[in-house]
Amino acid sequence: MMHHGLFFQFNFYVFGLIAIASALAFVTRKSPVAAALWLVTTMFCLAVLYVMLDAQFIGAVQVLLYAGAIMVVFLFVVMLLNLGHVPGSGDIKRLWPRLLAGTAGILLLAELSVLGRQALPMEQLIVPAAQSNVVTAVASPLFNEYLLAFEVTSVLLLAAIIGAVVLAKRRV
Partner 1 sequence: MVAEALFFSAVLFTIGVIGVLTRRNAIIIFMAVELMLNAVNLSFVALSRLYGVTGQVYVIFVMAVAAAEAAVGLAIIISIFRHHETVDLQNINLLKG
Window 11 to 70, contacts with partner 1 (CB under 8 A) = 12-13, 16, 19-20, 23-24, 26-27, 32, 35-36, 39, 42-43, 46, 49-50, 52-55, 57-58, 61-62, 65-66, 69-70
Q: Which is nearer to partner 1, 19 or 130 (CB)?
A: 19
Site for partner 1 in 136-155 (CB under 8 A): 137-138, 141-142, 145-146, 149, 153
14 in Cβ contact with 30 (< 8 Å): no
Q: How far apart are CA 111 and CA 66, in angstroms?
A: 28
Vertex 43, ends 92 and 86: CA angle to 5°?
A: 30
Closest CB 141 distance from partner 1, rounded Å: 5
Closest CB 6 distance from partner 1, rounded Å: 13
Q: How far apart are CA 135 and CA 154, in angstroms?
A: 20
48 in Cβ contact with 25 (< 8 Å): no
DSSP tag of 91: S
Q: How many CA atoms lie within 13 A of 153 on its CB side?
A: 7
Closest CB 130 distance from partner 1, rounded Å: 13
Q: Interface with partner 1 includes 79 (CB under 8 A)? A: no
Q: Which of 6, 88, 116, 148 binds partner 1 (CB under 8 A)?
A: 116
